[in-house]
Amino acid sequence: MATDFSERSDRAVRRAMLLANTFGASLSLVHVVDDDQPRRIVEAERQAAEALLAEQARSLREIDGVACASRIVLGDPFEGITAAVREDDADLLIVGPHRRQALKDVFVGTTAERTIRTSDRPVLMANGVPAGPYRHVLVAVDLSKCSGDAVRAVQALALESEAAVSVAHIFDAPASGFLRLASSTEDQIKDYLAEEEERASGELNAFLKDLNLKPVQRILKRHQSSVAMSINEAAREASADLIVVSTRGRTGIAKTLLGSVAEEILRISDRDVLAVPPHGDK
């Protein structure tokens, strides 16, 4: 759990505590002090942060019953967080929601975005107000190998043992626009869309069978505008409190890029998002 002692981080610490208690996991609190400043300032910030972090860890141990350690890292915030995760060989990194502004969204380029973009472990962005363990998890899939890794992460983290799991697939009907331009009848367009939905359903069923996942709900939505908005809408309709998405999709191949769908979900979602990197990145 990476904390900067803000209210956003406090929300994430609460989620981290709930997860640790639910799964019997240990927790490490990490704070990074930027060392690109005068030494006396770095040392003063380190001492203050060390005291705050130690008190927070002690509270989690004594009041919440969580096995909790703490550490201060000197360096660039996102590089320090990434290094701490690897050194601890953590299964999961938890961060607070990114800072939102009324007229400008500042997700791209933030410590959270850079950490998620380069992480080789699943990263949980705790956007929602933690009221208890997760009840409903929505996994967004595009039937790629990378989205298969997202499903496997849900299984590896044992989320399906504690919560209902649904799957959402946003499928494309590429010829629908052409049919309208060609003055096809409404019945012809409806028949085509029904065929595409049936095809997508069959592909989704085969995808889930290979992964040995039996979701409580399979959600199919046709891609009409933003895939991320469609996924977010599906999560609201299903009352899911966690969205799981791969950080790469069918078009997000480059290792250094955060997939555009994942980026938009992380930017717009009002509920927790688990961003899962491709398995080969670890």
pLDDT 10s digits, 118-154: 888 999 999 988 989 999 999 999 999 989 999 999 9
| 4/257 Cα distance (integer angstroms) | 25
Question: pLDDT of 187-205, one tens digit each?
Answer: 887 888 889 899 999 999 9
Specify whether the CB–CB gap between 25 and 69 falls below 8 A.
no
CA-based Rg of the chain, rounded to a whole angstrom? 21
Mean pLDDT of 94-113: 67
CA proximity to 173, closest of 188, 152, 183, 163? 188
Q: Architecture of 1-91 per CATH?
A: 3-Layer(aba) Sandwich (3.40)
pLDDT > 70 in the chain, percent: 88
User: What is the DSSP secondary-structure string of 225-276?
Assistant: S-HHHHHHHHHHHTT-SEEEEES--SS---TTPPPHHHHHHHHH-SSEEEEE
pLDDT of residue 106: 56
Rounded (10°) angle between helices 39-62 and 7-23: 40
Residue 201 and residue 215 in contact, taking contact as beta carbons nearer than 8 Å: no
Token pair belonging to 203: 């592909």
Scored b (16 or more CB within 10 A) or e, 255-266 reads eeebbebbbbbb
Instruction: Spell out the domain ranges in the chain.
Output: 1-91, 97-282
Prediction pTM value: 0.87
- What does the pLDDT look like over 217-234, one tens digit per residue? 999 998 877 889 999 999
The answer to whether the CB of 138 falls within 8 A of the CB of 244 is yes
pLDDT in tens, 88-103: 999 999 998 866 654 4
The pair of structure tokens assigned to 268 is: 């717009």
Provide CATH code, domain 97-282.
Answer: 3.40.50.12370
> Token digits for 232?
């977010």
Q: What is the pLDDT of residue 57?
A: 96
Residue 77, both tokens:
């915030």
